[in-house]
Chains A and B, each alone.
Chain A
Amino acid sequence: GNSVTQMEGPVTLSEEAFLTINCTYTATGYPSLFWYVQYPGEGLQLLLKATKADDKGSNKGFEATYRKETTSFHLEKGSVQVSDSAVYFCALITFAGNNRKLIWGLGTSLAVNP
């Protein structure tokens, strides 16, 4: 079946450190891939997305590349800030006929220290 696996957190970094959060997936067909972010006390917000192989999604300094050969969509940022402290969710969407399903990873908590 379809699934998303994220690296477990919590991840703790110092400000300006390099961030990688791994995400791999299992899916039939050609899913679209997403990273969502949840700041403390808030709902989820779309951070970036990629809809086909080799696409790179980017936003707010974050990037992720859709790698079909390794079934991965790792999230990276070159220099994190304290304000990036949040929980990050990797997700994919698949279509089966007229039904769509959004499959979520368990989330990775990131804490950035000044």
Chain B
Amino acid sequence: KAGVTQTPRYLIKTRGQQVTLSCSPISGHRSVSWYQQTPGQGLQFLFEYFSETQRNKGNFPGRFSGRQFSNSRSEMNVSTLELGDSALYLCASSPDSLSSYNEQFFGPGTRLTVL
């Protein structure tokens, strides 16, 4: 089975621009979560999507948004980029189960640098 893939792997943008990151989950996985990873803050949960619906949301401003398509692929968008948005953005997928937790499978991440 192919793993979680994220594109692009590296991205350089300037302040004020917007960016879209893409994530393809493992085949059959219906839940996709997004995280921001920075050295000082560790992993911060952005949001989780399941069946094209946002299920959970972290404490990020409205500039951060996402969506999920019918094939479970997900995109994350950040508008009006700020220097502080420079981070590794990780996507994770899981087969959804609410009765017991299934592990999340992570992609390699997209390294975003904002200049």
Contact = CB atoms under 8 A, between A and B. Distances in A.
* A interacts with B: yes
Contacts of A100: 56, 98, 101
Interface string A82-114: 000000010001010011111011110000000
A93 B105 CA distance: 15
B106 A45 contact: yes
Interface residues of A, number: 23
B76 to A, nearest CB: 15
B42 A104 contact: yes
Given A43-B106, A46-B103, A104 B43 contact: yes
Contact of A93 (B90, B101, B109): B101
Interface residues of B, number: 20
B15 interface: no
A101 B45 contact: yes
Given A42-B108, A43-B4, A89 B43 contact: yes
A89 B101 CA distance: 17
A46 B56 CA distance: 21
A51 B102 CA distance: 11
A27 interface: no
A34 B92 CA distance: 15
A32 interface: yes
A43 B56 contact: no
A44 interface: yes
B98 A95 contact: yes
A77 interface: no
Contact of B106 (A44, A49, A105): A44
Interface of B: 4, 33, 41-43, 45, 55-56, 90, 92, 98, 100-101, 103-109
Given A43-B108, A101-B56, A102-B104, 9 more contacts: A43-B106, A46-B104, A93-B101, A99-B55, A100-B101, A102-B33, A102-B45, A104-B43, A105-B42
7 contacts: A43-B92, A44-B92, A46-B103, A51-B100, A51-B101, A106-B42, A107-B43
